[in-house]
Chains A and B, each alone.
Chain A
Amino acid sequence: MEINFAHHQSAHCENGVVSNLMKFNGFEVSEPMVFGIGSGLLFCYLPFIKVNHAPAFTYRSMPGFIFNRFAKRVGIKIKREKFSNPKQAKARLDENLENNNPVGLQVGVYNLTYFPDEYRFHFNAHNLVVYGKENGNYLVSDPVMETVTTLTEDELEKVRFAKGALAPKGHMYYPIDFPKELQLDKAIVKGIKNTCKDMLAPVPIVGVKGIRLVAKQIRKWPKKKGVKIANHYLGQIVRMQEEIGTGGGGFRYIFAAFLQEASIVLKNEKLASMSKEMTEIGDLWRDFALDASRIYKNRSSKSDGYNNIATQLEVIADKEEVFFKLLKKAV
């Protein structure tokens, strides 16, 4: 059976799944809107979590948070289910598909056969929608892909029960209850306030302070860790900044797109100009990634290079601090 589900490509998986599921249920909500209301923007440095033998950096909030916050703020209810038994997980999925209900799934990336090899790491917080089953194959709408695709039963079970950090445990979710009309204005204000709070948090590894801490660490890496590891760590920062489809801005462009949309909904001119500023900050992140890539391309150890990009990060941190303080007052 196949549910009449429209696939729209998105820049990022979780926003994309939420936006696509909302559109399926008759609510036109764009990807940036989901991202902004769900307070997806963040910076966090997690030196104690090692991903692929390097510390973790994240430019967005924890998996699941975006949808949860979005749902709470616009007043929809989500049903979430996790399973210990793969058979039961499959049965519940099939049941939903029979009831014409496309569902979101959290999956591991490593066994997603349609991804290029370079993207297939043991990263367990990817999201996609399953919208049907045909000849024993599941019909899959992966929001970062241009078109829909399929996975066999075995393949889907493998990605749903990937192990390691953030193991999905068959995690399945879908909205069950909607308000008559979506009230976006209050939700937008809440989303923005939350993002400002996160980015200005008085915690050394989070937000603006986190960016400054990373800048400080970058200066030390070549001496402390040696060329090879320092280069590897830099590569990690850029890879995390990029994920798929952020265009190098570490989600800053999606956030800017959200602010632009929000300025129209709230009839707030100030947000439109803040959107422009966010775009400029996104460009700075891009320049940073470009310069960082020059260092690891040449496997260079010159501390000038490291000091230079560390300074760039500090400039970004200063700009973002001013930006989020102003944004807090703008709504």
Chain B
Amino acid sequence: MKKKDVPQDKSNLKSSGFKELCYAVNEKGEYTTEKSTGWEPKTIALDNAMKDINERVAIAKGKVESNQASPIEYYMELAKMDLPILASYVGMWQWRVKRHFNSNRFTKLSNKILQKYADVFEITIEQLKNINYGN
């Protein structure tokens, strides 16, 4: 890549005020570095990844509202986690965490277990029990 071709597209990097460093060749064919404000293909990929997560969050929310899932699943998606990551944060087996996605079982969970989840999501137990709490 030539130095003058280092992409200077709009991106979320730019809006948060930092540029990334790229290696590129100058006119003499020597390698040098140049700062880049972003590159469109990556911005689209990142945006799509975010849209994807928002979609997952919306689906999880719908499931909680129709009692098909517990709020734990919703908060997991909101924190961009998946089952293995959440299980390792709360320090429980994956199959156990998965059982807690069941809305019936969730209502029977002890405060001790609920607190574990609340700590991981950095919310209170009340917020954990009610996904619309405070919104």
CB distance from B28 to the nearest CB of A (A): 11
- The residue that A247 contacts in the complex, of B7, B12, B29, B47, with Cβ under 8 A, is B7
Bound CA–CA A159/B2 (angstroms): 36
B62 to chain A, nearest CB (A): 17
Q: A118-B50, A283-B1 are in contact. Are A53 and B82 (CB under 8 A)?
A: yes
Q: Which of the residues A163, A246, A275, A296 comes within 8 Å of B48, measured between beta carbons?
A: A296
Chain B residues near A242: list those with CB within 8 A. 39, 41-42, 45
Closest B residue by C-beta to A289: B41
Check A248 for interface membership: any CB of B closer than 8 A.
yes
Q: Mark B1-16, 1 if CB is under 8 A from A, else 0.
A: 1000011000011011
Question: CA of A235 to CA of B35 in the docked complex: distance in angstroms?
Answer: 23
A59-B32 Cα distance, complex, nearest whole Å: 21
Q: Which residue of A lies closest to B50 (CB)?
A: A118
Asked whether, in the complex, the Cβ of A245 is within 8 Å of the Cβ of B25, the reply is: no
Interfacial chain A residues near B22, Cβ < 8 Å: 11, 245-247, 253
Q: Which residues of A contact B47 (CB under 8 A)?
A: 118
Contacting chain B: which of A200-208, A254-262, A312-320?
A254-262
8 A Cβ contacts from B69-93 to A: 80-82, 84-85, 88-89
B131 at the A interface (CB under 8 A): no
Give the residues in chain A near B58, CB-CB below 8 Å. none
Is the beta-carbon distance between B23 and A164 smaller than 8 angstroms?
Answer: no
Whether B30 sits at the interface, judged by CB under 8 Å, is yes
Which residues of B are found within 8 Å of A256, using beta-carbon distances? Answer: 23, 31
- Nearest Cβ on chain B to A212's Cβ, whole angstroms: 22
Asked whether any CB of chain B lies closer than 8 Å to the CB of A279, the reply is yes
CB-based contact B19/A146 at 8 Å: yes
Residues of the B chain whose Cβ atoms lie less than 8 Å from the Cβ of A50: 82
The answer to whether residues A11 and B23 also contact, given A121-B80, A122-B85, A145-B18 and a CB cut-off of 8 A, is: yes
From residue A118, how far is it (CB to closest CB) to chain B in Å?
Answer: 4
Chain B residue with Cβ nearest A234: B45
Shortest A38–chain B CB gap in Å is 16
Indicate if B40 sits at the interface (CB-CB under 8 A). yes
User: Is the Cβ of B21 less than 8 Å from the Cβ of A248?
Assistant: no
Contact of B85 among A115, A164, A245 (CB under 8 A): A164
| Shortest Cβ distance from residue B75 to the other chain A in the assembled complex, whole angstroms | 14
In whole angstroms, what is the CA distance A246 to B39 when docked?
A: 11
Q: Mark B50-63, 1 if CB is under 8 A from A, else 0.
A: 10100000000000
Chain A positions within 8 Å of B13 at CB level:
116
| A32 contacts chain B at the CB level, 8 A cutoff | yes
Binding site for B on A (CB under 8 A): 9-11, 32, 50, 52-53, 110, 115-122, 144-146, 163-165, 167, 231-232, 235-236, 238-239, 242, 244-249, 253-254, 256-257, 260-261, 275-276, 279, 282-283, 286, 289-290, 292-293, 296-297
Chain B residues close to A by CB (< 8 Å): 1, 6-7, 12-13, 15-16, 18-25, 29-31, 33, 35-36, 39-42, 44-50, 52, 80-82, 84-85, 88-89
What are the 9 closest A-B residue pairs judged by CB atoms, nearest first? A293-B41, A247-B22, A257-B31, A164-B85, A245-B20, A163-B88, A118-B46, A253-B23, A235-B45
